Chains A and B, each alone.
Chain A
């Protein structure tokens, strides 16, 4: 019986690479979304809500709910469940609407 999803499908991915989440290194596999890479590191939240500042992460997993918005390489409001992870990506927790730094 398979113990991991990768064993189940016989995955033989290319070399893993590193991205960072709020400065912490996270290992990603080629072909994984940013959200998938974060889940595999046990990270479930990468956004705080606009009103109550509560943590959120991926919910619908298919790009419909917009709960997984993250600031990716400086750009806020990217859907982490759709955006593929790329080597060196810098992910930071998106606070509120994500535009605080430009004073909106």
Chain B
């Protein structure tokens, strides 16, 4: 806790998944006052998403890999002074008293910085952000651990009920113990598909096939990254064995190119792909199913960071991640990031980065002893795991030919119901050559989800079909709001200080 209720926290951590939890408990154990904000009612993020207490699950770990690592972080959180603010949907981080020049000089060893920037973390509260009061949490440093969301590539029929995100099916299973159907095809690209298929099968679903657009043999081209990360091989072997046990067939270099059914899924057509992910004519095979779980890997969730002006970098699979320094610092002084925000790499990497960031914030901002040995060890672990993640990402990058799946009638933007035909028209007839112009002309990406679902597709179509060897995600645009915010929350920002709906540290909301 800060010394008095009007003091800002030393550190606000946004996101209570593996990275945020590790960062928060590490910083708190080093003596910092820490607020940990997360939209969910529980800690764990997406990877360790688990049923609410009321479900009374005695074996939540049955749906998770490496549950003990999370259980340990949770124990440390319970023992700590970290203030866990659940149900907080952060929509912006702003500098409160900044001069725009960042944090300035670091003071001498052991001396606590009395001046410097204070950040305001703005959140709406409640289960979906629509129930509670808007709040503002103040802190001298911010750690962004906002995780990732699933990347989607559209295809004919993907808006039909019964087609769900692969990560979405996993999330609904982990938290609500439900399945979207009895016979579920899993499709898309990326290692998550195997994990999803094995949990769906373990939970009683029939999984006739896993359809992977790339070829897994490509991993063999990265023997060094694999040899350095034996735990990843173990994980793959566990999923592989589970799939064998449940008689799930893995079909590589293939994609679902059509979903059949009027009001819900009745079957899918699976087609072979060439090296550029173009469907091979005449190879379509129909598989009967009542649900399809689909996804093309994960994309870093970095809106809060890009709105602050944090520098980004392109990743090997065509997404945009934050560009981070050796101690997890972003290009904006006072703002750190850990986990998937810096590039997709999994829970283990996120833990290492969270601990590194927590240690670095404590040392850099507050002069806590710089635990050099520990920091070096964490950095080595991080670099090894990042190497593996990049090698995997490169294998699952969508190849340019995937847009051949789209008919002109296929909805690309789910929110605004913008078809591929209208986007193609904007590109070929109206001269749009980037996703932003496509958005202005067609409304693709302008809806509720702010382009999270259709962004990749819009970029690929705008770039001109077949011209790119690899699809590239746009640098995330600066969006003033990371989540939809009621006007009342914005109006309350203009009220005089003192009556602002702040979360005074130490009070409940």
Overall SS of chain B's interface: loop
How many angstroms from the CA of A21 to the CA of B168 in the assembled complex?
Answer: 22
Q: Does B56 contact A (CB under 8 A)?
A: yes
Cβ B55 vs Cβ A45 within 8 A: no
CA distance A39 to B170 in the complex (A): 13
Enumerate chain B residues within 8 angstroms of A1, measured Cβ to Cβ. Answer: 202
Docked Cα-Cα span, A52 to B99, in Å, equals 49
Q: CB within 8 A of B52: which of A6, A30, A66, A82? A: A30
Nearest chain B CB to A85 CB, angstrom units: 9
B55 touches A11 (CB 8 A): yes
B165-205: which have CB < 8 Å to A? 165, 167-173, 175-180, 202-204
Given the known interface contacts A8-B204, A59-B165, the answer about A51 and B417 at a Cβ–Cβ threshold of 8 Å is yes
**B162 adjacent to A44 (CB under 8 Å):** yes
Interface centre among A12, A56, A60, A66 (most CB of B within 10 A): A60
Q: CB-CB < 8 A to A55: which residues of B?
A: 161, 263-264
Interface residues of A in 32-64 (CB under 8 A from B): 32-33, 35-37, 39-40, 44-45, 49-52, 54-64
CB under 8 Å from chain A, chain B span 143-177: 149-150, 159, 161-165, 167-173, 175-177
Residues of B within 8 A of A82 (CB): 39, 127-128
Chain B residue contacts of A31, Cβ below 8 A = 51-55
Smallest Cβ distance from B175 to chain A, in angstroms? 7
In the docked arrangement, what's the CA distance between A52 and B130, Å?
27
Q: Does A102 contact B (CB under 8 A)?
A: no
CB pair B204 A2 closer than 8 Å: yes
**Chain A residues near B127 (CB-CB < 8 A):** 82-84
Q: In the complex, which of the residues A49, A62, A83 contacts B171, with contact meaning CB atoms closer than 8 Å?
A: A62
Is B60 located at the chain interface by the 8 A CB criterion? yes
**Chain B residues within an 8 Å CB radius of A50:** 417
Which of B52, B53, B168, B291 lies in contact with A60, CB distance below 8 A?
B168
Residues of B within 8 A of A11 (CB): 51, 55-58, 177
Quick one: given A62-B149, A65-B414, A65-B453, are A8 and B172 in contact (CB under 8 Å)?
A: no
Nearest residue, chain A, Cβ from B158: A59
Which residues on B sit within 8 Å (CB–CB) of A69?
448
Q: Is the CB of A59 within 8 A of B164?
A: yes
Chain B residues closer than 8 Å to A33, beta-carbon distance: 175-176
Indicate the member of A2, A44, A57, A77 with the most B CB atoms within 10 Å. A44
Evaluate whether A4 and B447 lie within 8 angstroms (CB atoms) in the complex, with A33-B175, A39-B178 already known: no
C-beta contact mask, B417-451 vs A, less than 8 Å → 1, else 0? 10000000000000000000000000000011100
Query: Is B46 an interface residue when CB atoms closer than 8 A count as contact?
Result: yes
C-alpha gap A78/B51 in the complex (Å)? 21
- CA distance in complex: A52, B170 (Å): 29
Contact of B167 with A62 in the complex, beta carbons under 8 Å: yes
Q: A5-B177, A9-B177, A39-B178 are in contact. Are A61 and B172 (CB under 8 A)?
A: yes
Chain B residues with Cβ under 8 A from A92's Cβ? none
Q: Are B178 and A32 in contact (CB under 8 A)?
A: yes
- Cβ-closest chain A residue relative to B483: A63
Instruction: Tell whether A44 pairs with B161 under 8 Å between CB atoms, given A5-B177, A36-B175, A79-B128.
Output: yes
Chain A residue contacts of B69, Cβ below 8 A: none
Interface contact B55-A64, CB-CB below 8 Å: no
* A29 CB–B CB distance under 8 Å: yes
Binary A-proximity of B450-492 (CB < 8 A = 1, otherwise 0): 0011000000000000000000000000000000000000000
Q: Which residues on B sit within 8 Å (CB–CB) of A54?
A: 159, 417
For A39, list chain B residues within 8 Å (CB).
172, 176, 178-180
| Interchain nearest-CB distance for A4 vs B (Å) | 5
Distance in angstroms between the alpha carbons of A63 and B161 in the assembled complex: 17
Q: Does B393 contact A (CB under 8 A)?
A: no
Does any Cβ of A come within 8 Å of B101's Cβ?
no
Q: Does A10 contact B (CB under 8 A)?
A: yes
Write the chain A residue with the least CB distance to B53: A31
A32 to B127, CA, bound (A): 12
Give complex CA distance A102, B2 in Å. Answer: 47
Q: Which of B60, B167, B204 contacts A4 (CB 8 A)?
A: B204
If A44-B180, A62-B168 touch, does A32 touch B55 (CB 8 Å cutoff)? yes
The reply to whether A6 and B177 contact each other, CB–CB distance below 8 Å, is: yes
Whether A9 contacts B57 in the complex (CB less than 8 A), given A45-B161, A64-B149, A83-B128, comes out as yes
CB-based nearest B residue for A66: B448
- A32 to B177, alpha carbons, bound, how many Å? 8
B56 touches A13 (CB 8 A): yes
Can you list, as one digit per residue, whether each of B61-90 has a CB less than 8 Å from chain A (1) or not (0)?
A: 011000000000000000000000000000
Chain A residues within 8 Å of B159, by CB: 54, 56
Using Cβ atoms and an 8 Å threshold, which residues of chain B touch A7?
Answer: 204
Report if A95 contacts B (CB, 8 A). Answer: no
Q: Do the beta carbons of A9 and B60 come within 8 Å of each other?
A: yes
Q: Is A101 an interface residue (CB 8 A)?
A: no
Could you list 25 A-B pairs, sorted by A, with CB under 8 Å? A2-B203, A2-B204, A5-B177, A5-B179, A9-B55, A9-B60, A12-B57, A13-B56, A30-B55, A32-B55, A32-B177, A32-B178, A36-B176, A36-B177, A36-B178, A40-B176, A44-B161, A59-B453, A60-B453, A61-B167, A62-B168, A63-B39, A66-B447, A78-B130, A84-B127
Q: List the 10 closest A-B pairs by CB distance, nearest first.
A: A36-B176, A61-B168, A31-B52, A66-B448, A31-B54, A30-B54, A10-B58, A12-B56, A44-B161, A5-B177
**Other contacts beyond A7-B204, A60-B150, A60-B171: 17, CB < 8 A:** A3-B204, A5-B204, A9-B58, A11-B56, A29-B54, A31-B53, A35-B176, A51-B417, A56-B161, A62-B171, A64-B449, A64-B453, A65-B452, A65-B453, A67-B414, A78-B128, A82-B39
